[in-house]
Structure 1
């Protein structure tokens, strides 16, 4: 694993731990000012809108939800990188059924890695692999 991949892995793991603890400053710390996030509830553009998107999630999560990385793959060059992960995100009785999918695009800015794009999604629970709606 390259040093860039190790650093990005550490950044993402620290981010996930901060999300789980509900620590907003740490959640937004390594994100670009022009962050674009496609989230389960909608689209977010800019760091201030990204910051405002988290408190409702933290309130829900405080009711006992999990937010834990299950798998994480990182691919990094010198200036850009991407990562994809599966996370346990939900109440303990629900996380066995499906996982949160996370994709991140990162770039190096002033010598440090920042998240420029973040995408969260859940698979459709009512469809088997390979099925499509008619």
Structure 2
């Protein structure tokens, strides 16, 4: 199955974002996000609205990221003419954490829209599975 140009563009956007997160590059993390982004996140605040609030969530994670892994394991993209979604599993954690739980994966879901010929992230959702005994 071959990818469409839009799917290829979206994959590139997500790959750049993940690399920027790992590098702690705030400008690149924000680059392809809509001004009115809504994010549901793991740590509080669990819901943020707007690019300024989204920006404010990253400094603490960047400090954590200095000793952690953040890499895409799987990524699937579905795109239409002006909306798309993507979901991925990422290795996100410390090596010590992966020794305890090597299969731990962060779940990422993105909702994107195309505006003026450019894809932007309008919704971002991060979660970890909850182990229930």
Matches of 2:97 and 2:88 in 1, distance apart? 18
Q: What RMSD, in angstroms, separates the aligned Cα atoms of the two structures?
A: 1.0
Select the residue among 82, 87, 99 that pairs with 1:84.
87
Matches of 1:98 and 1:37 in 2, distance apart? 21
Match of 2:34 in 1: 32
Q: What are the ranges of 5 or more consecutive residues in structure 2 without an aligned counterpart?
A: none
The normalised TM-score by structure 1 is 0.91
Match of 1:131 in 2: none
Give the aligned length. 126
Q: CA deviation at 1:92?
A: 1.5
SS of residue paired to 2:96:
coil
Runs of 4 or more consecutive aligned structure 1 residues displaced over 2 Å after TM superposition: none
Match of 2:54 in 1: 50
The residue correspondences of 1:96-107 to structure 2 (distance < 5 A) are: 96-107=102-113
The normalised TM-score by structure 2 is 0.92
